[in-house]
């Protein structure tokens, strides 16, 4: 679990609350994406958080994504669409076809486009946990909300922040290592 250990001590990471997707459970999604990395060398992981748009993600300085279990059963809204992307763009101007051999890139697309992390490594975690009070999003404590379930964070003690998360200990389901350009738009 080299990537997990590196991610847990990294100053900057992305935290992403994982939920079901269009009838596919988390285990199936992780299995499919891990197979992409093995066969293609990378995978694209779609997310819908405006707080981590690709232009912001590319400038974040983060190199890892920690995929977290939701705090409650309804903590992550399931994606109902299984629409698949066929193109990606680093700058939302020049589009190119997804890499050959990549499994379906499905998820949350608004106004015809979505966001996706570019992962060069993805591994499951068996019994890892993190304390959200040890991270901040900008100048504030980490608070996940619908529409902002993936956040760029940095290490900082937020235990005295009155708006800190009530459910602070979260299970880490998987860790991904980002590849340049970190995140892209997909459609």
Residue 146, pLDDT score: 77
Question: Please, are residues 163 and 140 in contact by the beta-carbon 8 Å criterion?
Answer: yes
Indicate the SS3 state at residue 156.
coil
From the list 124, 82, 123, the residue with the least C-alpha distance to 103 is 82
Q: Token pair of 155, please?
A: 């290490």
On the CB side of 124, CA atoms within 13 Å amount to 11
Mean pLDDT (the chain, rounded):
90
Position 79 pLDDT exceeds 70: no
Which residues share a beta bridge with 27? none
Model confidence band, residue 74 (pLDDT cutoffs 50, 70, 90): low
Residue 119, pLDDT score: 98
Please state the rounded mean pLDDT for residues 52-78: 82
Residue 91, pLDDT score: 94
From the list 68, 71, 70, 79, the residue with the least C-alpha distance to 174 is 68
Position 73 pLDDT exceeds 70: no
From the list 138, 123, 117, the residue with the least C-alpha distance to 7 is 123
Q: pTM here?
A: 0.91
More confident residue, 23 or 11: 11
Model confidence band, residue 152 (pLDDT cutoffs 50, 70, 90): very high
Position 110 pLDDT exceeds 80: no
Question: Please, are residues 115 and 183 in contact by the beta-carbon 8 Å criterion?
Answer: yes
């Amino acid at each position: 679990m080299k990537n997990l250990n590196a991610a847990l001590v990294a100053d900057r990471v992305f935290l992403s609350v994982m939920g079901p997707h269009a009838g596919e459970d988390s285990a199936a999604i992780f299995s499919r994406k891990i197979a992409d990395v093995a066969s293609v060398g990378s995978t694209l992981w779609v997310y819908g958080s405006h707080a981590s748009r690709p232009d912001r993600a590319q400038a974040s300085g983060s190199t890892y994504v920690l995929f977290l279990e939701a705090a409650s059963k309804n903590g992550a809204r399931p994606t109902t669409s299984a629409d698949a992307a066929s193109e990606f763009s680093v700058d939302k101007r020049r589009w190119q076809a997804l890499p050959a051999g990549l499994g379906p890139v499905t998820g949350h697309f608004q106004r015809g486009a979505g966001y996706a992390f570019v992962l060069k490594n993805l591994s499951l975690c068996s019994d890892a946990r993190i304390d959200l009070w040890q991270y901040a999003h900008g100048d504030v404590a980490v608070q996940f909300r619908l529409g902002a379930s993936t956040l760029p964070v940095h290490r900082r003690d937020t235990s005295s922040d009155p708006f800190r998360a009530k459910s602070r200990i979260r299970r880490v389901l998987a860790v991904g290592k980002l590849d340049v350009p970190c995140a892209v738009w997909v459609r």
